[in-house]
Structure 1
Amino acid sequence: MRGALLLIIGIGVGFIAAHQVARTPQGKQFFDDVDAKAREFGDAVVEGYKQREAELRAAVAEAEEVIADLSSRSK
């Protein structure tokens, strides 16, 4: 219970400190840079996911074609 309380207090203190730092020009620039890098990372993750999804869909389509071909040969 004490650990959870300390965690909540730490989060609150961190939030207040970040808010105060963000008021300065250097702090605003820092948080803008962090935000830009986080968005860039998120975009890269989404792009990688979409590429992998396309690869898997192509593999499934190819497998379905092979299965259909084998089924038609066995008849």
Structure 2
Amino acid sequence: MKNVIWLAIGIGIGFVVAHNVNKTPQGGRFFADLDAKAREFGAAISDGYRAREAELRDAIENAD
């Protein structure tokens, strides 16, 4: 239980620090870049999933 409390405190402090950093011009750019990279990564994962799913569906259809 003690570890959960420390985890919650750490998360709270992290949010406060991130909020304060985001207020600065450099911090705003940092988080904007981070967001763009995360979205790009998510899109790449999604595209790869769709491509693999299409390959498997074609393989199933051609197996019959």
TM-score range, shorter chain: over 0.9
Kindly indicate whether structure 1 or structure 2 has the higher relative contact order, using CA contacts under 8 Å at least 6 residues apart.
Answer: 2
TM-score for the superposition, normalised by structure 1: 0.84
Give every structure 1 segment of 4 or more consecutive aligned residues whose post-TM-superposition deviation is greater than 2 Å: none
TM-score for the superposition, normalised by structure 2: 0.99
Offset of residue 59 of structure 1:
0.2
Gaps of at least 5 residues in structure 2 are: none
Identity rate, percent: 58
Offset of residue 38 of structure 1:
0.1
Aligned residue pairs: how many?
Answer: 64
- Does 2:58 align with 1:58? yes
Gaps of at least 5 residues in structure 1 are: 65-75
Once residues 63 and 8 of structure 1 are traced to their aligned partners in structure 2, the CA distance between those partners, rounded to angstroms, is 52
1:41-63 Cα distance to aligned partner (Å, 9 max, x none): 00000000000000000000001
